[in-house]
Amino acid sequence: MGERLIEVSILNQKFLVRTDEDEDYVKEVVGYVNRKIEEIRNNASMVGTLQVALAAALDIADDYLKLKKEIGERSYRLLKKIEERV
């Protein structure tokens, strides 16, 4: 699939994203970001757009790093089990 521009909206700001990903995937990513932003807005006293965006970015990075660590630990345990059987 070739690279193309897809219009997205985050924090009520529309902009174009250059990507070679499927449009449905890009919409899924944007939806995830927008849900995190709404979660922050609903649960925090932050009012500034930049504050909300940065808090959402930190929350998303936290999710990513926790999942990355969990996958690494599971992979390690799986490799150990495979080695024990060989």
Q: What is the pLDDT of residues 30-82, one digit of tens each?
A: 999 999 999 999 988 877 899 999 999 999 999 999 999 999 999 999 999 99
Q: Which residue has the higher pLDDT, 26 or 46?
A: 26
Q: Is residue 73 included in any domain, yes or no?
A: no
Q: Is residue 8 included in any domain, yes or no?
A: yes
pLDDT of residue 1: 62
Q: Is residue 53 included in any domain, yes or no?
A: yes
User: What average pLDDT does the segment 22-28 reach?
Assistant: 96
Instruction: Please check whether residue 15 is in contact with residue 8, taking contact to mean a CB–CB distance below 8 angstroms.
Output: yes
Q: How far apart (Å, rounded) are the C-alpha atoms in residues 23 and 29?
A: 10
Q: Is residue 32 included in any domain, yes or no?
A: yes
Q: Is residue 57 included in any domain, yes or no?
A: yes
Entry pTM: 0.81
Q: Is residue 69 included in any domain, yes or no?
A: no
Q: Is residue 66 included in any domain, yes or no?
A: no
User: What average pLDDT does the segment 26-30 reach?
Assistant: 97
The whole domain housing 53 covers 4-61
Number of domains in the chain: 1
CA distances from 82 to 60, 68, 74 (A): 33, 21, 12
Q: Is residue 68 included in any domain, yes or no?
A: no
The two structure tokens encoding residue 3:
């690279």
